Structure 1
């Protein structure tokens, strides 16, 4: 469970009159999906609480649950309130509908990105992409088309809440100098001192070792750079590059795949399914934080942590074999 979900779940659950709720303004442009509603009507017991923007009584998350409750003949539904501004309520609605439940259609996610790019021009492409479930490159295209002069020229706020410059050339050069003068510094320490991301610091270190320029030449979207690492990925890997006509486009990442699984009622509404989704979500969420975690493991714990990591990896490998195609026997 993410920190955002934990904050929401700390709010008290109350019974709300369905007739008092406003279901307009949803990021789901086509409205509720009848088949998904039918699935929820058939679910035994009370459905999870919905989320409502208290100042406007607009439903942030739970339109399908409301439709199911109406079909059941109910006049009230369990829910929690959110008291923030409307712009934040919309962002929350998009994020919740992308991260679980019936996934938003691509057109819905692109339209949501358009609105967020205008309402939150200081957000980085990656931060908007994380909320809307589309690629950062697509967000950049949308920003150029709809945001225009609203987008700040010098810096943006990333997913971790830090402000970073759009042009990190100076940071790269400073990182290179720090690594040369202090080779024992960790990537995290260099990144913090040079105001760049750990991944950028890693790239600078690799360029130093290979003798390449620390500041890479800008490349266009039409000619994406394929590294040796990307070439070695599996053919069906979510991070692999696939050809679409004359262009190469990135396939959806692990987080998007997990988000789609979270929309499956067979997983979401069973205890074992929710446990599996929590494990998968944990991996998808923290993939981008590995460098920070690695740099901050206390020296006296490294052997134990490394051994546990190998054991857990073995457990997942065994799990993959046991649930793979043709391995499970129907009961």
Structure 2
């Protein structure tokens, strides 16, 4: 069984002497946060057990609870002990520290991702991203900077082994995108045999006029094509059928009668503007902010694309189940 898939909350809690514990390898490089320690000190009731790596007695999760116990003068603390290699234990530590309590900083999560890429090079970008709480795209960038992009096969979040995205597969994906820009990320990924995240990266490179491969320096021809319009054209941003569908969604009780549904409807409405309105906003962006706003727009587009991928995955799972 994969030690990083262990259900830590199913492990029994036992009392451990504080003198036996160490926090030297914690992914939280800044140490304890004094304000969080004060919050825990004032909390009523017993604090949850900490998570400890049995072979080394390193604290994987519970640095602040350990500090509270020491401040109180306790000699023992409740802990759950996990058996794993040190590299797998580090993954468990990161996962535990991003899912509850005081989350790890972005810098700590990126550092953790670099370490996990080094100790688990066979893991996919999505699996590393899931463990560290950053995006798969960021993991891919960190992997390239670390020079760890040559793995022939990687293990995904579902435990399945898949071939990593080579240059030839990226080129095939680029050809598919050029020939049929309407294909979804998953459709291209399935035909070529790479991940949807890799397809998204290829599509982004094509839109910027770059080579589809990370190491490619040749820029693609600048002639206009469906992915790179020579002039702004927002006419297809939203059509009348989709606007009519949005109006029906606004009257759907499953959405309008709960807070999350109303938030989603507001977001959809905000982005369902006609081409003239998009053009007006484009012209209103101050010249000195073009690059900054473009960065935000591209990041938000990636978030929406990943949101769409998750929804499609859930729809497929429900249909199969």
Q: Same fold (TM over 0.5)?
A: yes
The equivalent of 2:48 in structure 1 is 48
Against the structure 1 CA distance between its residues 109 and 169, is the aligned structure 2 distance closer, same or farther, given a 3 Å change threshold? closer
The equivalent of 1:91 in structure 2 is 91
Alignment deviations for residues 80-104 of structure 1 (CA, whole Å, 9 cap, x no partner)? 0110100011111111111221111
The equivalent of 1:79 in structure 2 is 79
Q: CA deviation at 1:59?
A: 0.3
Give, in whole Å, the separation in 1 of the partners of 2:95 and 2:290.
Answer: 28
Q: CA deviation at 1:190?
A: 9.8
Whichever of the two has the greater Rg, that structure is 2
Q: CA deviation at 1:129?
A: 2.2
Residues 94 and 112, structure 1, Cα contact 8 Å, conserved in 2: yes
Q: CA deviation at 1:76?
A: 1.0
Residues 122 and 151, structure 1, Cα contact 8 Å, conserved in 2: no
Give 3-state SS (helix, strand or coil) of 1:84's partner: coil
RMSD between superposed Cα atoms in Å: 4.8
Q: CA deviation at 1:125?
A: 2.4
The equivalent of 1:218 in structure 2 is 212
Gaps of 5+ in 1: 177-186, 203-215, 236-241, 256-285, 302-331
Against the structure 1 CA distance between its residues 40 and 141, is the aligned structure 2 distance closer, same or farther, given a 3 Å change threshold? same
1:295 aligns with 2:316: yes
Alignment deviations for residues 114-167 of structure 1 (CA, whole Å, 9 cap, x no partner)? 21121112222232222222233332332222x32x443433333233323313
Gaps of 5+ in 2: 178-184, 201-209, 220-226, 229-233, 239-266, 272-288
The equivalent of 1:281 in structure 2 is none
Residues 53 and 83, structure 1, Cα contact 8 Å, conserved in 2: yes
Against the structure 1 CA distance between its residues 61 and 194, is the aligned structure 2 distance closer, same or farther, given a 3 Å change threshold? same
Give, in whole Å, the separation in 2 of the partners of 1:120 and 1:66.
Answer: 29
Give 3-state SS (helix, strand or coil) of 2:154's partner: strand
1:248 aligns with 2:295: yes
Against the structure 1 CA distance between its residues 133 and 57, is the aligned structure 2 distance closer, same or farther, given a 3 Å change threshold? same
TM-score (normalised: structure 2) = 0.58
The equivalent of 2:163 in structure 1 is 164
* Runs ≥4 residues deviating over 3 A: 3-6, 167-173, 187-202, 228-235, 242-247, 249-253, 286-290, 296-299
Which structure is higher in RCO with an 8 Å CA cutoff and minimum separation 6? 1
Alignment deviations for residues 143-196 of structure 1 (CA, whole Å, 9 cap, x no partner)? 222x32x443433333233323313358869x99xxxxxxxxxx9999778645
Q: How does 1:53-68 map to 2 (within 5 A)?
A: 53-68=53-68
